[in-house]
Structure 1
Amino acid sequence: MTLFAILLLAHFWTDFLIQSDQMARCKRSTKLAVKWYPLLGHALTQVPMVVGIWLIGTLLRVANWPFLETFGISLIIVVLTHWLIDVTKQNCQPILKRALRLKPNQVPLISYVLDQVLHLVVIVIVSQLLGTNWQSTTISRWLLAASVIIATLYFADYFISLFLKSLDLNVERLPDRAQLGRHIGLLERLAILLLCYTNNVASIAVVVAIKALTRFRAIEANEHHFAEYYLIGSLLSLIFGCLGGYLLKLI
């Protein structure tokens, strides 16, 4: 469990917290010569975190701590597969579009979800093959909790944004103030996550009401389908926030 928790946190940290705009643009390129080197650097950003966590665990003499060889082999596999998935992601989108008969605005969403699923599958397989102990420990629970929080805030952020763009709501034509919804959504999901974790579920209604109150005039005007945009985004944000809080309680 410890190896899985470390690799999972390293992945979320790399993909959602320290990924630069340049790396994101490289992922969207179809030219291998343009993107292979920057994306390799992106994949390698997992190394400092994994090595740092391993050193901390070693210095603290954590029980059942994985050996250095286990960390090294698993890290090499995860970094290389992370790089390979990112390099081929954009080039596989036309195949994905034809195979699933997707509309052009649906391809980025499906591609994003499959990209994350493949990364997670690799982490699970590597942890299963190389991990020697799947018992839950205090440090593994803390690492998993950090991963849940990052996923709830940032995976959900990209997912909701791509999901809205996959619908025919003319999202690009919304007023500039609508773009603030992504930042509001982060705070909203964090609040909901904490409220679910602390068993204050009834207070979620206050968060939802405050958000709706600030957007009342825009919802009433419904310019460029803003009401639908707001409703779908809010419901998805609510679902992710509650799910994150529930997973935290399980951990």
Structure 2
Amino acid sequence: MSNLFTAIQALVLLKLIFAHILTDFFLQPTSWVKDKEEKRIKSQKLLFHIILTFLTVWLFSRNFLVALFIGITHYGFDLLKIYAKDKSVKSFILDQVLHFIILIISWLYIIKGFNQFSNLFTSILADFKTWVILVSYVFCTIPLGILIGLATKRWREDVNTSKEESLNDAGKWIGIFERILILTFIINNQYEPIGFLIAAKALLRFKESDLKRTEYVLIGTLISFTLTISIGILVKMVL
């Protein structure tokens, strides 16, 4: 945590997060989830889940108003999720982000730290190192992927004549996570894992029978690794 918050204040937030994880993932049986999806607002299991959420938060926070606030908002978010009928990853992440925002608001209310949080947020926005790292990570995802795609375009058109099928956008996301890992390793002075990552990917690709596809992927991989490592070194020099 920042120096603006004490260890005791941080502990309050950890307890709220633990209460959320406990009730939303461990104390909610699959049968309850199915019942909520089938009966929606009339589901008794949904009511049980909210009551359990309220009691658990009250137990860990010792604050009735916070427990009530979290319970009511949790009920609203669950109803939105149920009626949206969206079980995608984006929906799950959005749901958890909304819950986390409520936890942050509740935590700040308990510790009376709204001014402290405002000062922390302002200091983060004004921190040069934070922006350097943020920009480098953002650039290494989609923008760098587009650049690599343009650099390998002439080979991709040749490989696309192959009848071999692949997962939709799998290569795109593999590349994004690959570059995020490499940049993280570079920033934290962990160079050894990069070698293992290159070796593992090379071994997997050389098992393929399609030589053109193998060469195409390895070219893209080497371009991706080279550019990301260069960005990582540049970030370290700037910092």
Alignment TM-score, normalising by the size of structure 1: 0.41
The higher relative CO (CA closer than 8 Å, separation ≥ 6) is in 1
TM-score normalised per structure 2: 0.43
Greater Cα radius of gyration, structure 1 or 2 = 2
